[in-house]
Amino acid sequence: MKFVRLKMESPKTHTQITAFDRAMVQRAIGLALNGAGNVAPNPMVGCVIAVGNDIIGEGYHAQYGEAHAEARAIASVTQPELLSRATLYVTLEPCAHQGKTPPCTDLILKSGIQRVVIGAMDPFPLVNGRGVAKLRDAGIAVAENVEIEACRHMNRRFFCFQEKKIPYVILKWAQTADGFMDVQRVSGEVGVHWISGPEIKAVVHQWRSEEAAVLVGRNTVINDNPQLTVREVSGTSPLRIVLTQDAQLPEGSAVLDQAAPTWIVNNQLSDKIGNIDWLQCADVHDLSEVLQTLHARNIQSVFVEGGAKVLHSFIDSGLWDEARVITGSSTFEDGLAAPVLKGRPTETMTRGSDVIHFYRNQG
């Protein structure tokens, strides 16, 4: 690797946190994002190694089960004799346990690195402070929680899963310019009444590919018969989850097509046919219990696509973290009213004639 010279103030002491330190952690965040979609349920992690103002090594966790960011960064250093004067910057506390790969703390100690700057501590019980303790016990200077908000936000699904013991929940719906999610359906009427334009379809499929599971209620399956897979972009289809009290779905429902793993979460039945699991839950109306059930099965994030009853249930219970509301230019004048969120959106973007508002749960 060639040296990369940055014109910033370099660390003066082992304890002082400088603008250079913060810039290196931000650079490590950028590296970590290269692992998006490939490392779950592990967190995304990036690592930079620098001597003075020179970057001598970089790496990121690229694939679940493969080498961690610290190992890749150390391996990229072409002049290992410099490591004894180097600082290692990493977005998450180095692991101190044997998992699918050896402990990163052991590798850091073996390398001779004498200073480590960490973006955020790892809440995973087998790490959680042990990595830092091991480094400090060996005489390594360690700085913690540098650019912590950015590091935690990048891995917000992982932190929610570890700390709250439930999946990270993202709500999504489309609404007309006059605030309706659907027309007023007559008895037995099925089919999709499109609100958003064709550009949005690829966006939604990209969102699906980024989450562990996509969830809808039984009425959405009956009325819209969605596939809930990733087709418009390159990516992996998430686990499909349907909430239904009686375990019954119409014959020919697209979610029963075996195209992706599917869980029918219900009150009555446990069964499995191919990719389809009927997962019994004591009460599908108790979303806290549903989310705890999903957590127990290692589902780290859930993308909730409807319908109105399910969305309202998540909102009313406060069991959501983000919402993405697509507003089209068409109007229905009457029909099924869309949910209304309190507060202002944190971000707004446009696709074609549609506007997407992004919200975070501030509760």
Residues assigned a catalytic role: 70
Task: Provide the total of helices (H) and of strands (E) in the chain, helices listed first.
Answer: 10, 18
Token digits for 339? 């949910």
Token digits for 328? 């089209």
Token digits for 290? 């549903």
Q: Are the C-beta atoms of 242 and 263 separated by less than 8 Å?
A: yes
Secondary structure (DSSP) of 190-245: -S----S-HHHHHHHHHHHHTSSEEEEEHHHHHHH-------SSSSPPPEEEEE-T
Distance of alpha carbon 200 from alpha carbon 316, whole angstroms: 27
> Using alpha carbons only, what angle is made at residue 181 by residues 180 and 186, rounded to the nearest 5 degrees?
95
- At position 225, the amino acid (one-letter code) is N
Token digits for 334? 């009457």
Q: Are the C-beta atoms of 72 and 62 separated by less than 8 Å?
A: yes
Distance of alpha carbon 58 from alpha carbon 75, whole angstroms: 9
- Parallel, antiparallel, or unpaired for β 46-51 and 4-5? unpaired
Q: Are the C-beta atoms of 116 and 98 separated by less than 8 Å?
A: no
Q: Say which DSSP state 80 is in.
A: G
Instruction: List Cα–Cα distances, 258 to 42, 65, 252, 294, 297, in angstroms.
Output: 27, 27, 11, 20, 20
The burial of 62, by beta-carbon neighbours within 10 Å (0-12 exposed, 13-18 middle, 19 or more buried), is given as middle
- At position 15, the amino acid (one-letter code) is T
The total number of residues shown for the chain amounts to 363
